[in-house]
Amino acid sequence: MVVDLDDALAQAFAESTRRYQERGFQRRVGFGKKPALINVDLANAWTRPGNPFTCEGMDERIIPGVQRLLEACRANGHLVVFITTYYRNTRRDDPHTDMGLWHCKMPVEILDEADEALWAIDSRIAPSAGEKLFVKKGTSGFHRTGLAEYLRAAGVDTTLVTGVTATACVRTTACDSMHEGFRTIAVRECIGDRVPGAVAWNLFDLDAKYADVEAVDTCVDYLNSLKG
C-alpha cells in the first residue's frame, strides 16, 4: 500500500509541478544571514510510542536529524527555539477551558500542564541553557506566543522549521513564519506525521507556496557557514 501510495504521489507531484511552474509557483525564498531553528512539538507525547499523538519516523529519521541541526546551531551560536503544547484547564465541560474547541476534534485534554512527562521536550534533543521554550494552545507556533517578536528582537531573518505534524502544527507554523516576514525553510527529514503520505504531500505543497523544503545536509552546511 505504501509503495503504491508513493508511486501515486510521485505521479501527482510531477503533474502538479508542471502546472505550478507554468503559473509561476515554486519560487525560492532562499537562506538569509541570521537563522533560528524552530522545533515544533518534539515533546514526548509526539516522539515516544503509546500516545494518541505519537508520530512515525522519530527514532530513525527525525530525532537524529534534529540532533545534527542542534549541534550545528550550538557550535555556531545560532538561536534555537522549542515549542510545545499544554493546557491548564483540561475539563471538556468547562466553558473557561483554555483548549478552546479543539477538544471537540482531537484528544488534546491529555496535554495537561500537570503532566510534564507528556509535554516536555524529548530528552534526546532537550533544550540547553538559554534556549527558549514557547507554549502554544493551537496549531501555529506563532499564534499568540510572542515568537515573532522574540525572533525579530534577535535579528533573525530565516527560520528552519522541524517537528510534527506536517498536516497541522508544522504546516501552520511554516506558513505564519513566511507571513511574519521570515525566510522559511522546512527541513525535509526532520518533519513527521501519523498518516501515510501526509508528510510528502504537505512538504510538496509548502515548497510550492510558503517555504523552501531543503535537506538536512544542506541546512547543516548552511548553519556551519555562518556565525551567530
Which residues are part of the catalytic machinery?
169
All residues at 6 or more sequence positions from 119 whose CB lies less than 8 Å from its CB, including other chains: 43, 44, 45, 84, 85, 86, 111, 113
Alpha carbon distances (Å) from 145 to 102, 138, 202: 17, 10, 24
**Rounded-to-integer distance, Cα 223 and Cα 137, Å:** 30
With b for 16 or more beta-carbon neighbours within 10 A and e for fewer, the 187-220 pattern comes to bbbbbbbbeeebbbbbbbbbbbebbbbbebeebb
Asked if 72 contacts 196 with a C-beta cutoff of 8 angstroms, the reply is no
Asked if 46 contacts 169 with a C-beta cutoff of 8 angstroms, the reply is no
Alpha carbon distances (Å) from 129 to 80, 81, 85, 133: 11, 11, 20, 11
